[in-house]
Amino acid sequence: MKIAFGCDHAGFELKPIIVKRLDQRGIDILDHGTFSAESVDYPDYASKVAASVSTGEAQLGVLICGTGLGMAISANKTHGIRAVTVSEPYSAKMARAHNDANILTFGSRVVGPDLALMIMDVFLDTPFEGGRHCRRVGKMLALEIVSADEEATCE
């Protein structure tokens, strides 16, 4: 398995802890940065990880910022991405089992290192259940196609 990984400056301190766990699990890591604690823009890293997952270069992705929210919003702009912000293990499990989530995001200012590792392990260890959930994931994908022609605005 290959995991695409990215963080911004707020996630930089947590990065080596997560990367070490992925390495211990024998998972290949495609590290998109950031590579310092210098202030950066989280959408830049979210888009790189999302592209890696969307194209199949990586099977799953992990993104860390201050809250996980900006990373999830940014990653979810990429076709086929189902990024979820999770702050506890049960939601990580359900996101994989029922929603076939393919990118996990969390906030370094919301969860500590031990909880982040638990969340990530549950996310990685939980398979998609398929069955009735395939229909629902298909409907989510159809929403992307319907709204792809809309004009983007921000006020």
Please list the active-site residues.
Answer: 65, 98
Structure tokens that stand for 26 in this block = 């024998």
Answer for the pair 74, 43: CB distance below 8 angstroms, yes or no. yes
Separation CA 17–CA 107 (nearest Å): 14
What one-letter code names the amino acid at 70? G
Q: Is 1 exposed, middle or buried (0-12, 13-18, 19+ CB in 10 A)?
A: exposed
Q: For residues 147 and 131, what is the distance between their CA atoms, to the nearest angstrom? A: 26
Using the structure block, give the residue that is written with the tokens 């990367």: 19
